[in-house]
Amino acid sequence: MLGLFFFGLWVLGPRIAAGEIPPAAFWLATLVGAVQALWISPRLHGDPPEWRGWGASSPDGTRPGAFAASWRAYAAATAIMAALLLAGTAIANPGALADVRGRAIPLKFAGYLAFGMAQAIFFFGYVMSRLRAALPHPAGAGGAARHRAAVALATAAVFAFCHWPNVPLLLIAAPSAFVWSWLYYRRPNLPLLAMSHAVLGTLLHRVALLPMRIGPFYERPDLYVLRTVIPGLRQLIGDRL
């Protein structure tokens, strides 16, 4: 699956944006990944229903990922990370706060809700579930906490690496993904995680003014594939990435 991700990002993406390959190739690769992550993998590996992040019941009848049980933890984590991000921006680039364009924030946030959900499904609903099943559970007192930390670290490493070569974004993505993984381990809720991702992503791009490009598009924003495969997006966002 990571091979498919990097093939789509580094090989298909630029060629689609350059007009060498039809946009249908992007949607075919996306469909293959979605079917694998959402349908084939959970059934093939027999994942507990609650791991999938849609609030399903666990074998003991509880619903650890239900909205009512989860939203406070995600809201608190999001608020803390957003406050740290704004404080860091105020210290490192105070002029960015003065240049915030309020009209662009709702647009970015709306787009990031969909994009954040796609990333939540792939990195946390799929990648993290595979790591959670594969990494051994330490024995003895504290074994569960150590397993949770190991899964969160491994998921954060994968998540951060997939933001290469945007090093500033990678350095922010790693601790953010650790927090999300730590939460998701106990409170698996994909919509809440996607909402948290959308809030931080919007602040990073529209307030901290950090470029969000990854892969080959980091150096060549003109080849940004989503502007090619989503009708009307180029006219809507132009070169704002």
| 10-residue mean pLDDT series, the chain (241 residues) | 92 93 94 95 95 92 94 98 95 80 82 92 97 94 94 98 96 97 97 97 91 92 87 62 48
Q: Would you state the pLDDT for residue 231?
A: 79
pLDDT at 80: 98
Torsions phi, psi for 46 (to 5 deg): 65, 40
3 state DSSP class of 238: coil
Per DSSP, the chain holds a count of helices (H) and strands (E) of 13, 0
Return the DSSP state at 21.
S
The structure's pTM equals 0.93
Gap between the Cα atoms of 47 and 148, Å rounded: 16
- Cβ neighbours for 239, distance < 8 A, ≥ 6 positions apart: 221, 222
Report the alpha-carbon distance of residue 85 to residue 3 in Å, rounded. Answer: 32
d(CA 204, CA 210): 6
Q: Residue 238's pLDDT is what? A: 55
Model pLDDT, residue 103: 75
pLDDT of residue 234: 64
Buried b (16+ CB within 10 A) or exposed e, 115-133: bbbebbbbbbbbbbbbbbe
Give the per-residue pLDDT at 85.
95
